[in-house]
Amino acid sequence: MADGGGLSRRGLLGLVGTGVGAGVLGVGVGVGTDRAVQAHTNGSSGASASYPFFGRHQSGIVTAAQDRLHFAAFDVADGTSRDDLVELLQDWSHAASRLTAGLDVTATGATGGGLAAPPDDTGEATGLPAAGLTVTIGFGPTLFTAADGTDRFGLASKRPPALVDLPHFSGDQLVAAASGGDLCIQACSDDPQVAVHAIRNLSRIAFGRASLRWSQLGFGRTSSTTRAQTTPRNLFGFKDGTANVKAEDARAVEDGVWAAASDGAGWMAGGSYLVARKIRMTIETWDHASLGEQQTVVGRDKGEGAPLSGGTEFTAPDFTAVASDGRGPAIAPDSHVALAHPQNNDGATLLRRGYDFVDGNDELGRLNAGLFFICFNRDPRRQYVPIQTALSRDDRMNEYVKHVGSAVFAVPPGASQGGWVGETLFA
Amino acid sequence: MTVPPPAVRPLALASGLAVLALALTGCVANAPAGSSAATAVTVDGTDDSCRVSTTTAPSGPVTFTMTNNGSDNSEFELLADDGLRIISEKENIGPGTTGSMTVSVPAGDYYTACVPGLVGEGVRAAFTVTDSGTTVEATGTEKQQIDAAATAYVGYVEDQTGQLVTATDEFLAAYTSGDDEKARNLYPLARAHYERIEPVAESFGDLDPEIDFREADVEPGTEWTGWHRIEKDLWQPTAAENGGAAYVPLTPAERRRFADLLTSDTKDLLDEVTASDFTVGIDTIANGAVGLMDEVATGKITGEEEIWSHTDLYDFQGNLEGARVAFDGVRDIVDQKDPELATSIDDQLTKVETLLSGYGSLDAGYPAYTELTDADKKKLSDAVNALSEPLSRLTSALVA
Domain that includes residue B355, residue range:
150-399
Q: How many CB pairs under 8 A join A and B?
A: 50
Nearest to A197 by CA among A120, A258, A142: A120
Mean pLDDT of B329-342: 93
**What's the pLDDT band for B103 if we cut at 50, 70, 90?**
confident
Is the domain of B96 the same as that of B191? no
The lowest-confidence range among A116-125, A235-244, A355-364, B11-20 is: B11-20
How many beta carbons lie within 10 A of that of residue A192, not counting itself? Answer: 17
pLDDT tens for residues B74-90? 999 999 988 888 888 88
User: Is A4 inside any structural domain?
Assistant: no
Is A49 strand, coil or helix?
A: coil
Domain that includes residue A406, residue range:
34-146+164-419
Is the domain of B238 the same as that of B342? yes
pLDDT tens for residues A122-172? 999 999 999 999 999 999 999 999 989 999 999 999 999 999 999 999 999
Its sign, for the CA torsion B346, B349, B353, B355, is: positive
Is B21 strand, coil or helix?
A: helix
Mean pLDDT of chain A: 90
> Is B389 in contact with A211 (Cβ distance < 8 A)?
no
Is the domain of B131 the same as that of B190? no
The pLDDT of residue A47: 56
The pLDDT of residue A21: 32
**What's the pLDDT band for B132 if we cut at 50, 70, 90?**
confident
Bridge partners (DSSP) of residue B130 are B58
User: Is B6 inside any structural domain?
Assistant: no
CATH number (domain holding residue B118): 2.60.40.420
A112 touches B: beta carbon within 8 Å: no
Is the domain of B157 the same as that of B69? no
Number of domains comprising chain A: 1
Rounded CA separation A410/B75 (Å): 65
Nearest CA in chain B to A210: B382
Which residues of chain A neighbour B353 with C-beta distances below 8 Å? Answer: none
User: Is B93 inside any structural domain?
Assistant: yes
Q: What is the number of helices (H) and of strands (E) in chain A?
A: 11, 10
> Is A117 in contact with B396 (Cβ distance < 8 A)?
yes
Is the domain of B256 the same as that of B393? yes
**Residue B93: φ, ψ to 5°:** -95, 110
Residue A364 neighbours by CB under 8 Å, 6+ apart: none
The pLDDT of residue B136: 74
B102, B137, B172 — which closes off a domain?
A: B137
What radius of gyration, in Å, describes the C-alpha atoms of chain B? 21
Rounded CA separation B324/B342 (Å): 12
**Residue A255 CB burial class (10 angstroms; 0-12, 13-18, ≥19):** middle
Amino acid occupying residue A147: A
Rounded CA separation B308/B295 (Å): 18
pLDDT tens for residues B32-69? 444 457 899 999 999 999 999 999 999 888 899 999 99
User: Is A427 inside any structural domain?
Assistant: no
Rounded CA separation B328/A4 (Å): 35
- pLDDT tops 90 at residue B310: yes
- Provide the ipTM: 0.81
- pLDDT tops 80 at residue B383: yes
pLDDT tens for residues A67-78? 999 999 999 999
- Bigger pLDDT: A238 or A12? A238
Contact B71, B48 (CB under 8 A): no
Which residues of chain B neighbour A10 with C-beta distances below 8 Å? Answer: 344
The pLDDT of residue A286: 96
How many angstroms away from the CA of B115 is the closest CA of chain A? 37
Mean pLDDT of chain B: 88
- Nearest-by-Cβ selection for B399 from A13, A77, A116: A116
Nearest CA in chain A to B381: A211
- pLDDT tops 60 at residue B23: no
Is the domain of B220 the same as that of B130? no
Which residues of chain B neighbour A78 with C-beta distances below 8 Å? Answer: 379
A147 touches B: beta carbon within 8 Å: no
- pLDDT tops 60 at residue A42: no
Residue B254 neighbours by CB under 8 Å, 6+ apart: none
The pLDDT of residue A40: 35
The pLDDT of residue A9: 61
> Is A208 in contact with B283 (Cβ distance < 8 A)?
no
DSSP string, A312-359: -TTSPP-TTPBPTTSSSBSS-TTSHHHHHSGGGTTT---EE--EEEEE
- pLDDT tops 60 at residue A415: yes
The lowest-confidence range among A282-286, B11-15, B178-182, B335-339 is: B11-15
Rounded CA separation B66/B93 (Å): 8
**What's the pLDDT band for A378 if we cut at 50, 70, 90?**
very high
User: Is A65 inside any structural domain?
Assistant: yes
Is B25 strand, coil or helix?
A: coil
Its sign, for the CA torsion A292, A293, A297, A303, is: negative
DSSP string, A277-307: EEEEE-HHHHHHS-HHHHHHHHTB-TTT--B
User: Is B18 inside any structural domain?
Assistant: no
User: Is A5 inside any structural domain?
Assistant: no
Nearest CA in chain A to B347: A208
Which residues of chain B neighbour A13 with C-beta distances below 8 Å? Answer: 340-341, 344, 389-390, 393
B111, B137, B163 — which closes off a domain?
A: B137
Residue A388 neighbours by CB under 8 Å, 6+ apart: A169, A277
pLDDT tens for residues B231-289? 999 999 999 999 999 999 999 999 999 999 999 999 999 999 999 889 898 888 998 99
- Bigger pLDDT: B3 or A367? A367
How many angstroms away from the CA of B25 is the closest CA of chain A? 29
- Nearest-by-Cβ selection for B396 from A10, A114, A209: A114
**Residue A211: φ, ψ to 5°:** -130, 155
Interface with chain A: mutation pick from B393, B395, B398, B399, highest number of A CBs within 10 Å: B393
